[in-house]
Structure 1
Amino acid sequence: MSAFFADRNVVLEDERVRLRPLVPADVDALAEIALDPAIWQFFVASIQNRDDLQRFVDEAVESTRAGTALAFTVVDKASGAVAGSTRFGNLSARDQRVEVGWTWLGRRFVGTGINTRCKHLLMAYAFEQQGVQRTEFKTDVLNQPARRALLKVGCTEEGVLRSHTLMPGGRRRDTIYYSVLAGEWPGVKQRLGDLLKAGGGGRC
């Protein structure tokens, strides 16, 4: 096994989705789908124009270079189109723990199963290739679609951190955490596979 998430050029893919390293030049393709306020409603980042998106991408790329994250561009292999972005973050080799998140998709890719496939690929890499003991996810307590999707794929709801994050509009966000542990991964993997066989995971 290589050093903890040390491969900055890793590509994860299945028959429908490719996750490749995010690069600054991706901003052009991402801008075609990202400038939709609905996408960013529950994000800490405020993406209102191309410059905001460029900063978001540059920060993700720099985090990857610094070894604190591993950011991906999501590609829909059927069309070859860039569908969005996702990321590993809060990497802790000592604790064998990683966060999966910062995920967004263009509106036409929502509900197609791409998000479910991303979660499957990311968790498989984390548990099976990097030996993590815990993957964690967090979202705005008001983000009901994300909460339903996380439960649907088999994550365990853990608890709410009250007044946890200051949002762009000034609201104090309550943040809810979810997780999958190493011992739970085989069952979650089976559940993800069943969702994909059934037609893509619906809202996921």
Structure 2
Amino acid sequence: MVVVNKTSVELNHFILKKLLRVRKANPSDLNEIYAIACSVGTSEKISEQGFLVDDYKSNPKYYKKKLLKAITNLEHFYVAEYDKIYGFMMTYTKEQWLAENPDWIEDVYWRPDFDRSKLDNFVVVDKTAIKADLTGQGIGSLIYTRLLADLKDEGIKNIFAETIISPQPNFASLQFRKKQKYTLAGMRYENYNGNLYTDLIYHKIVE
């Protein structure tokens, strides 16, 4: 029998490998998912830790409604949990992504050598959030492993993800793209809440 101290600070690699499980989110997870979003989606952005763009504490009712919609509608919304939820990832199908971002393909400045046929069928990883004091411990990689397995079963070969580099770079996200062997496919500019963001567009083939 393994006896575990269940505080976040005590979570270690053994627990991550042996006890943490990844499953699809359900509506009852909303409050825990929101708490994680709040831990990395704050008014202060820490490049080395990674961050979500929005300040989730600024409007709990609004952001909980958005998260609940995603939990309910997205086929690929995952959580990583042990005694509680420690991270989540939401992924959109091509149809879902373009329904909310209809000009996305046209707005991206694709690399000249990027094979546009990869846009025929894809998913977009929109948000990956790990509890702030547990980033860098492999939780995001565990969630990605589950996503890749599901996409392989469904015959989906292409994954895209965006990483912000301006006005403040998300270094943790850039490092994660490198770790997961994404390649740079393009970039785009996005006006959001009165700010101009520069996003790098990364691509990964499901193998």
Bin of the TM-score, shorter chain as denominator length: 0.5 to 0.7
Work out which of the residue numbers 156, 171, 179 in structure 1 matches 2:203: 179
Instruction: Encode CA deviations 1:32-75: one digit per residue, 9 max, x unaligned.
Output: 444335567453544115324412322212432xxxx5322221
Letter in 2 for 1:95: D
Structure 2 length-normalised TM: 0.65
> How far, CA to CA, are the matches of 2:126 and 2:148 in structure 1?
11
Work out which of the residue numbers 22, 32, 52 in structure 2 matches 1:43: 52
2:30 counterpart SS class = helix
Partner of residue 102, structure 1: 127
> How far, CA to CA, are the matches of 2:72 and 2:190 in structure 1?
25
1:124 counterpart SS class = helix
RMSD in angstroms over aligned alpha carbons?
2.9
Partner of residue 89, structure 2: 86
Q: How many residue pairs get matched?
A: 160
Q: Is the 8 A contact 1:165 1:175 kept in 2?
A: no
Question: Structure 2: 5+ residue runs without aligned partners?
Answer: 1-16, 46-50, 97-118
Instruction: Encode CA deviations 1:132-160: one digit per residue, 9 max, x unaligned.
Output: 12111112122121012101221111221
> How far, CA to CA, are the matches of 1:111 and 1:88 in structure 2?
20
> How far, CA to CA, are the matches of 1:120 and 1:181 in structure 2?
13
Letter in 2 for 1:36: S
> How far, CA to CA, are the matches of 1:84 and 1:114 in structure 2?
7
Work out which of the residue numbers 175, 187, 190 in structure 2 matches 1:160: 187
1:123 shift after superposition:
1.6
Structure 1 length-normalised TM: 0.66
Residue 64 of structure 2 is aligned to residue 54 of structure 1: yes
Higher Cα radius of gyration: 2
Partner of residue 116, structure 2: none
1:36 counterpart SS class = helix
Q: Is the 8 A contact 1:159 1:177 kept in 2?
A: yes
Indicate how the Cα distance of structure 1 residues 165 and 147 shifts in structure 2: closer, same or farther if over 3 A, else same: farther
> How far, CA to CA, are the matches of 1:47 and 1:102 in structure 2?
13
Task: Give % identity.
Answer: 18
Indicate how the Cα distance of structure 1 residues 37 and 107 shifts in structure 2: closer, same or farther if over 3 A, else same: closer
1:17 shift after superposition:
3.6
